[in-house]
Amino acid sequence: MKKTTNGILIGMGVLIVTFTVWVFSPFGELELANTVSNIGQLLMALVTTGLGFYIAAKSTFARPLRRAWGLISLGLLCGILGQMGGIYYFLTLGEVPFPSVIDAFFLASYPLVLAGVLSLPYAATRPEQRLQLNIDISIVVLVCTVFLWHFIIGNLVEAGVSGLAGLISIAYPIGDLLILSGMVALIQRDLEGVRRPILLALSAGMFLFILADILVAILRGYAVDASSRLSLVPSILFWMGRLSFLAATIWQATESQFDVKETTNFSPLLRTNLVYVAVLSAMALAFVALVTLVRSNLHLYVTILGAGCITLLVLVRQFYVLQENRRLSKEVEHLAITDGLTGLFNRRYFNATLERDILAARRYARPLSLLMMDINNFKDYNDSRGHPEGDQLLRDFGQIIKSHLRIVDMVARYGGDEFVVILQETNADNTGIVAEKLRAALKAGLPAVAGLGASIGCATLQPEMSADSLLLLADQDMYRQKPHHRR
């Protein structure tokens, strides 16, 4: 199924590239190209919106995900209505008037898409993380506001554009800022139950829409005639953006409901450096504007140029210092959550993860189970063979467990010779199957020493059960198993 859908998406991408090459070739006909572009975009938008509403109505998806796709689909539907209105005007009047009722549909799409993006199931964050996120979004949006003012809005104001046409002309860049803030939220936060390809496709779609909108404003500001081939560039970008949204909806609609609990993020590298890139861009714009103003004054020109170079060097130095600090911070964080002997997660991280997973399991009405296990006669083995052999046994025990679990399951060393496993999306019956599989693997992988083996206790989350009571249930079951699972 996925190979077929990916093949269809690749085919559509090839068609858009072929269309672009044809448009700018000597054989391209502008009127026919406009027709093909409008029809192609409309059909793609209809399919995307239909799939979005399908996701919103599908009860097997988590409620936040359904709500998010419902709002995104409403935004796309407004875009469809606006595009259909534009086609109607073009067929009846020979041109699309500005402003008109279709602008109301297009402008309504911006807040709806933003609301949908902000409704996606983001991972829980601490208050200080939310504050940092809001500051990051504010910085990026303000930087982009400065650019839009310098290149678009400021020119409109200076040109004396007023009335409804002026307001709508300014409203489109403001709508782009709304979409941009949603895009930054996608980049800066972790999502639950949304695969990275879906996240990338959504972000690419929003970026292409913003780019196309800005290009429309620039071409309009330079009075590029509709008969020019350049006027089709925004349409091609809109088409590519719709393809990105279509890819996101197809992948989400066909997503399995299992093993999607892990959190995903856009790009750790981009997340780390996005704000600094935005600030540097704003400083570069301000520097160019200032140098342009004082170019005739050699004294001020050299002074500002030198100050700008010094500032740039300081920022570059600070950037590398921050990178080193982040590297050290990651090392400390890794040490804080990792057991030094086995390389597995430690008890502190396990406790925090279990609390979070219990909340998520109740929120999404999904099963969650726990395994607790220890090594039978480990003390005798450690005393008779020595601590190095005992340490190696613990490492082997942990790796055998980890190698027989799914990626989304979590294994940790609880203390001494005790290990715990959190099983995502696993009910009581399947938990027993997993326990028997692990017991068999441990029996085959551990040293053949009399009395050496593993006792495994199982527990499945029940309504109103706390993390401590779930652990106690698994611990009690583990001790009940001991008489039966000795070698």
- Positions annotated as catalytic residues are 417
- Two structure tokens written together for 81: 């209505």
Contacts of residue 184, Cβ cutoff 8 Å, sequence gap at least 6: 136, 137, 140, 141, 274
Contacts of residue 357, Cβ cutoff 8 Å, sequence gap at least 6: 261, 368, 422, 424
Burial class (CB in 10 A: 0-12, 13-18, 19+), 370: buried
Cα separations in angstroms, 308 against 161, 274, 303: 35, 21, 9
Question: Can you count the helices (H) and strands (E) in the chain?
Answer: 16, 6
Q: Which residue has the tokens 């206790």?
A: 457
Max CA pair span of the chain: 94
The answer to whether the beta carbons of residues 420 and 344 sit under 8 Å apart is no
Strands 191-192 and 368-376, bridge-based pairing: unpaired
Buried b or exposed e, range 240-275, using 16+ CB within 10 angstroms: bbbbbbbbbbbbbbebeeeebbbebbbeeeebeebb
Angle between helices 63-93 and 233-253 (to 10 degrees): 150
- Two structure tokens written together for 176: 């782009």
Strands 368-376 and 453-460, bridge-based pairing: antiparallel
Cα 409 to its chain centre, rounded Å, is 21
**Terminal Cα-to-Cα distance of the chain (whole angstroms):** 46
Angle between helices 101-118 and 163-188 (to 10 degrees): 20
The answer to whether the beta carbons of residues 290 and 224 sit under 8 Å apart is no
- 127 prior amide bond cis, ω within 30: no
User: How many CB atoms are closer than 10 A to CB 43?
Assistant: 11
Q: What is the DSSP letter of 407?
A: T
Cα 244 to its chain centre, rounded Å, is 14
